[in-house]
Amino acid sequence: MMEKNIQKDLRLDSFAIILAATTIAIWVWFSWAVMPTEDGATIRSDTWPASAFMIGVLLVCYLIKRHLPYTAVVLFTLGILLTITAVVLHTRNLAFSYTYSILIVFSGILFSRVGLMSIASMAGLLIFGMAYFMNEFHDADLALLAISLGLVTSAMWASTYHLQTALFWSLDGYQEAHKNELIVREQKAKLERTLLDLDAAMYQLQRTNVLLVEARNQAEEARRVKQQFAQTISHELRTPLNLIVGFTETMVKSPEYYGTPLAPAYARDLSAVYRNACHLQNLVNDVLDLARLDQAYLLLVPDKINLHHIIEDAANTVRGLLERRELNLRLDIAPDLPPISGDAVRIKQVLLNLLNNAVRFTNQGNITVRAYSKDHQVIVGVADTGIGIPPEKFADIFEPFLQLENPMQRQKNGAGLGLAISKQLVELHGGSIWVESEVGKGSCFYFSFPAVTVTPDTALDTIWMPASAQTQSSNTPLVLVVTRSPSAASLISRNLTQYRTVIIGDFRRAQQVAQRLMPDYIILDTAADFNEGDVERFVNDLSLPNIKVLSCPLPGEELLRQSLAVDGYIIKPVTQERLWDMISQFEGRRVLLVDDDRDFVRLITRWLSSSPRKVQTASAYSGSEALAVIKQVQPEILLLDLNLADMDGFQLIKQMRLLPEAKNMRIIVVTAYEIFDASEHLQGKLAIRKPSGLSAAEVIQWIEIYLRGLIKVGH
């Protein structure tokens, strides 16, 4: 449709030009025809009527051209056709018929190829008709005329065909260009919208970056406050608990120290106090760990456990509570109950949580603890005859801080964390927990652990493996960590959750364990007294050519000791065995205790008085007093708390280094104050070795791992 409209527009434009040119030519013809001759004749030619007729046709065409353009074109063409025919008939001159070629040329411009052929056919018919009726034209002239007009018609046919083809090509190109222009406009509009969106996103990103910086600063401040809180509360909680545990342990295990044996009733109650104090001390240590570590979760220290003993211990703990509520406690433990591998403290905590819940929600009746094995699982159930739980609440009761509404709600206390914590502890052991209950008849909470058989071949007394690693598949990579630091061992076990982790304390035993367990990786803690030669010898002596060995310093007590340049570092709570193991490494019998807590000094003095090697003890309760005592007694071993009233332990150590009497004195820090900040950078080398050597592909792989690690931590 567009092509036809364009053709019509072009023809009308051409018609205007042809009309003007024809008007000039006809006017010249008319003027010449009516012009007087030299011999006095009135007109020069008698063809002036034909020119006058044509002038009239042209005038009409001018008048109707604007409103009836196509009628004007047809009238113009027919007018020329009639004018030429009239002149030929009037003059009886065949030569004038050649002017039909002008009409054919005009027709090729003003009409389509069909119109061209129509006009050419009409001209031919008129010529042959006039020749037939007049019988005055020679056949040769007539043939020549026909050939001339035929050639003109063919030339116009060909020219219009090529013109139309070129026009179609041009139109196609124009349409394609127009289409592309529309697409470009649309894309430009989209691009402008995208740029606006990008500007908005950039603004939001900048705003978000500002908020992130602010949030990061707040997080850093919160981390600093949390660390300060952990350091302060660590001393305030651990020291009193250490005193309770230490004195009750002495009373329970060494009653002969007091001269008079305790009465059986006192001894039994004191044993309960000691047992629960130890449990509370372990829980407090974990709470402080959660506050101190950025990526913290409870560490499980597993062992081969007989659940019968754990259940009886937990039952004895809550027995007094049951007696006050006049409830009966029944134990139904299968005699053939297999052992499990788990953390006794955590399993006891689960039992205590369930027993306390049962007591709080039971007014009368019984509480029963069952334990049996089924399908390689050890299942423990705590049943009560309390108010029960609706079935639709089964999934909600294990959510943190959720307490169900019930008629006895006002009598209950607690934050709603017991079941949530129990669920996490059970799942950390690779087990599951669920509940069966009926409203008005009571509830029974079950939890299960996989039964584990520990053979003498694998029970190595110098290594330990987290329970989460033991419950993993045997296809999980095994990592052997060689470190003497309990804190470093705890840190590794907390973070390498996708691996089975085995911890051992010395190179010699590590080689034996590596031969037995065939680990995939070995991590060597170079923060201890392991020099580069020790590491090289360890790697060379391994008969496992493809094992990867990574050596680097790990944060722990050894780094704390090195940072203070002291001979030992013990983090409270301290046990008598741990204290004596540290002191026995050094020669000397004169020991000075420096601590502002007199009760703790008295406890340590009592422990040292019953040690295998007789020692002489002196005490000081402040930094200035310690400096004076050092000059008097010249101690060989100093047990120092860093948190003193008049000065901190760091200043005291610097001043003691200047005293000649303390030149050869061994300093052992015994404190709940941990000065190592996890954000500080460790000094040392990180090296990766393999006995058989690293291939080029392995080198590239380790480099990629290292770079990905740098990107991940943002350094």
Q: Which of 247-256, 393-402, 576-585 has the lowest mean pLDDT?
A: 393-402
Tens of pLDDT, residues 157-211: 777 766 667 767 777 777 788 888 889 999 999 999 999 999 999 999 999 988 9
- Mean pLDDT, range 233-242, rounded to an integer: 70
Task: Say if residue 378's pLDDT is above 80.
Answer: yes
Q: Is the distance from CB of 581 to CB of 608 less than 8 angstroms?
A: no
- Mean pLDDT, range 489-513, rounded to an integer: 73
Task: Say if residue 464's pLDDT is above 50.
Answer: no
Residue type, 638: L
Closest residue by Cα to residue 92 from 52, 133, 122, 55: 133
Tell me how far apart the alpha carbons of residues 69 and 240 are, in angstroms, rounded to a whole number: 115
Per DSSP bridges, beta strands 500-504 and 521-525 are unpaired
Instruction: Using pLDDT thresholds of 50, 70 and 90, give the confidence band for residue 383.
Output: very high
H or E element, residue 160: helix 139-253
**Which one is predicted more confidently, 643 or 42?**
643
Share of the chain above pLDDT 70, in %: 77
Joined tokens for residue 432: 């599951």
DSSP 375-426: TTEEEEEEEE-SS---GGGTTTTTSTT-----TTGGG--S-S-HHHHHHHHH
Tens of pLDDT, residues 309-342: 889 888 888 887 787 788 888 999 988 888 887 7
pLDDT on residue 405: 52
Residue type, 296: A
Contacts of 271 (CB under 8 A, 6+ apart): 252
The separation between CA 269 and the C-alpha centre of its own chain, rounded to angstroms, equals: 53
- Mean pLDDT, range 346-367, rounded to an integer: 86
- Enumerate the β-bridge partners of residue 305: 340
Closest residue by Cα to residue 58 from 29, 93, 101: 29
How far apart, in Å, are the Cα atoms of 647 and each of 144, 152, 238, 266, 666?
135, 123, 21, 41, 20
Closest residue by Cα to residue 644 from 235, 201, 302, 180: 235
Q: What angle do CA 610, 614, 616 make, to 5 degrees?
A: 100
The phi, psi pair for 550, rounded to 5°, reads -115, 125
Instruction: Using pLDDT thresholds of 50, 70 and 90, give the confidence band for residue 712.
Output: low
The phi, psi pair for 438, rounded to 5°, reads -140, 130
pLDDT on residue 469: 42
Q: Which of 224-228, 465-469, 649-653 has the lowest mean pLDDT?
A: 465-469
Q: Which of 142-156, 293-307, 370-384 has the lowest mean pLDDT?
A: 293-307
Per DSSP bridges, beta strands 548-552 and 687-689 are antiparallel
**Which one is predicted more confidently, 510 or 258?**
510
Joined tokens for residue 136: 């005055």
pLDDT on residue 465: 43
Share of the chain above pLDDT 90, in %: 6
Mean pLDDT over each residue of the chain, to the nearest integer: 77
Q: Which of 293-302, 394-403, 518-527 has the lowest mean pLDDT?
A: 293-302
Query: Which burial class, exposed, middle or buried, applies to 154 when counting CB atoms under 10 A from its CB (0-12, 13-18, 19+)?
Result: exposed
pTM, whole model, 2 decimals?
Answer: 0.44
pLDDT on residue 9: 67
- Mean pLDDT, range 566-577, rounded to an integer: 79
Q: Is the distance from CB of 689 to CB of 551 less than 8 angstroms?
A: yes
The phi, psi pair for 612, rounded to 5°, reads -60, -35
- Mean pLDDT, range 703-711, rounded to an integer: 67
Task: Say if residue 455's pLDDT is above 50.
Answer: no
Q: Which of 23-27, 525-529, 588-592 has the lowest mean pLDDT?
A: 525-529
Task: Say if residue 414's pLDDT is above 50.
Answer: no
Tens of pLDDT, residues 21-51: 888 888 888 788 777 766 655 566 777 888 8
Length of the chain: 715
